[in-house]
Amino acid sequence: MPWKLIFFLLLMGLVVFFAGFNLDNSSDISFGFHTFEDVPVFLSLAIAFFGGAAVTLPFSFRKYLSKRARPPKLKKENKRKGKGPHVPTDSSLPTLPH
């Protein structure tokens, strides 16, 4: 069952329901240099939501790109094959003067 689609449709139904009940509710939004008058509440909330999503979007791409840019980890063959650490033999040891 496509649960993500059902959840998305229910969420959109709630948004439409909220917008329908708030069509008469409006407010003024001031940016200091300009004032928007009689802006519906649901429209100002939708703009704030998408503005917040746009601000966080670069951070999510930065994390994705940093994972891709890393060099792959080298495999440790000794541990994977079950071999222990390298133990030198007598022929590989340097001879020391007595």
Q: Where in the chain are the domains?
A: 18-70
Residue 84 has pLDDT above 60, yes or no: no
Sign of the C-alpha dihedral computed for residues 35, 37, 42 and 43 taken in this order: negative
**pLDDT at residue 66 greater than cutoff 80:** no
Look up residue 56 and give its two tokens: 């966080």
Residues 11-31 pLDDT 10s: 988 888 877 887 788 888 888
Nearest-angstrom CA–CA distance, 67 and 55: 21
User: Is residue 98 over pLDDT 80?
Assistant: no
DSSP SS3 for 26: strand
